Amino acid sequence: MPSDSSPFDQFFFVLRSAGVPVGVTEWLTFLEALKAGVIGSADELYAIGRSILCRTEADYDAFDLAFATAFEEATLPEDLASKVAEWLEEAARRFDEDRARREETRTAEELWRDLLDTMREQTERHDGGNRWVGTGGTSPFGHSGYASRGIRVGGEGRNRSAISVAMERRWASHRTDEPYQVRNLQVALRALRDLGRDGALELDLDATIERTCRNAGDIEIVEHRARANRVHLVLLMDSGGSMAPHARRVSRLFDAAERLGTFKSMQAYAFHNCVYDVLWDESGDEGRVPTDRLIRDLGPRHRVLFVGDACMAPYELFSPHGWPPEEASTGLEMLERIQRACGASAWLNPEPRRYWNHPTIRAVQGVFEMHELTVDGIREAVQGLRTPRPPRGFS
């Protein structure tokens, strides 16, 4: 199989490096489709290839880019091009060595598995190589060489149309690493659950039969509680001035959580820059709520999500607030108390990670796992919230 599939090797590499998570199963299915003859034109190569190699529409945009790259000279974002170049060269070299050595004795599946392993190692090694694919003419994955052989299925004219469709990048808005929609957020939040038997009453058929038999046929109904989500979600949102540019994204997250309805309860509070003795109730109409009361109510089933840029004047985090002075605590201490009182917590920062090099952000990161306020970031945060960790001590 590898020999007659080779025109598409480059496509495979480009897909992987563009971020489409193509695995052995999908790739073999794709080769199967090529063999079965269902792909008769470049348009079909595009449509069917995409249907087999992408698992979600979030991958469509990366697929479009990879398709255009693999089958036609195309302009790419600068960083992607260099990524593809350095990665391809090394992977190609290593895989070719491997293939020469093993082709005789290995099945196609084993071979592709090896290829994947090679690439997995490669993604972790970002050293060396800065030439674009094939420009040197030495790479076995030379662009024009394979592209011209690979695309023979369609012919020049139709090929062009599939490429131009791919280049329109119609699916760019579906990427999950880009700004987000309420619906995507809900999908990410829905994974936050801890099922317990405290839902509605359900008939337990097996137990009913067992008891009824023991009663010599007098029917005795046994019921138990259905499984329901036990997670209480608490959103704590920074409404300080520096958050103004992010207000829409924060309110979308709030909307998503509030409308989802899969939590045992959902509460949202606002704070200003840092949490002090009072919070503002956003989900109900209580107005000012003492932070102490929230902390008292928190329990092991509460998951607390902070949303804020964690960027403030150092005194806001490190100087004591409150009255009387002996009961005053610093903002950081408040955060730590909340962190210890709940089952699990995380911090979502609307600023991109590269701007996180700030003293107060680093201090907050000492208390909470921090993630970006993106669909992917929320997904990571939820992953951490699902498995409560032992509370951290003071650092």
Partner 1 sequence: MSENQVFDGTQGYISDGDLSAVVNAANVLQRPLLIKGEPGTGKTRLAEAVAESLGRPLVTWHVKSTTKATDGLYHYDVVQRLNDSRFGDGDVSDLRKYIRMGPVGKAFQMQEPCVLLIDEIDKADIEFPNDLLRELDDMAFHIPELDETVRATHRPFILITSNAEKELPDAFLRRCVFHYLGFPDRGRMAKIVRVHHPHVEQDLLDASIERFYTLRAVSNLRKAPTTSELIDWLGLLMHAGVSPDAVGKDTRFLGVLLKQESDLGRVRDDTERRA
Q: Which of 15, 20, 54, 332 binds partner 1 (CB under 8 A)?
A: 54
Is 253 near partner 1 (CB under 8 A)?
Answer: no
Is 172 near partner 1 (CB under 8 A)?
Answer: no
- Alpha helices in the chain, H assignment, sequence order: 2-5, 9-18, 24-36, 42-53, 60-71, 78-102, 108-124, 143-150, 156-167, 182-190, 205-214, 247-260, 291-297, 314-318, 331-341, 359-365, 375-386
Which residues within the stretch 58-97 sit at the binding site for partner 1 (CB under 8 A)? Answer: 60
Is 187 near partner 1 (CB under 8 A)?
Answer: yes
DSSP letter for 138, please. -
* Residue 39 CB, nearest approach to partner 1 (Å): 8
* Residue 359 CB, nearest approach to partner 1 (Å): 37
**Residue (230 or 337) nearer to partner 1, CB:** 230
Is 190 near partner 1 (CB under 8 A)?
Answer: yes
What is the amino acid identity at position 47?
A
Is 194 near partner 1 (CB under 8 A)?
Answer: no
**Stretch of 87-95, 207-215, 269-277, 314-322 contacting partner 1, by CB under 8 A:** 207-215
Please write down the HEC assignment for all residues of 53-76.
HCCCHHHHHHHHHHHHHHHCCCCC
Is 197 near partner 1 (CB under 8 A)?
Answer: no
Do 20 and 166 touch, CB atoms closer than 8 A?
Answer: no
Torsion sign, CA atoms 313, 328, 244, 351: positive
Is 204 near partner 1 (CB under 8 A)?
Answer: no
Is 52 near partner 1 (CB under 8 A)?
Answer: yes
Is 247 near partner 1 (CB under 8 A)?
Answer: no
**Stretch of 8-16, 50-58, 93-101, 358-366 contacting partner 1, by CB under 8 A:** 50-58
Collapsed DSSP state (helix, strand, coil) of residue 377: helix
Interior angle at CA 78, CA 77 and CA 82, nearest 5:
120
Return phi, psi of residue 233, to 5°. -100, 130
Binding region for partner 1 (CB under 8 A): 23, 25-26, 29, 32-33, 36, 38-39, 43-44, 46-48, 51-52, 54-57, 60, 170, 174, 183, 186-187, 190-191, 205, 208-209, 212, 217, 219
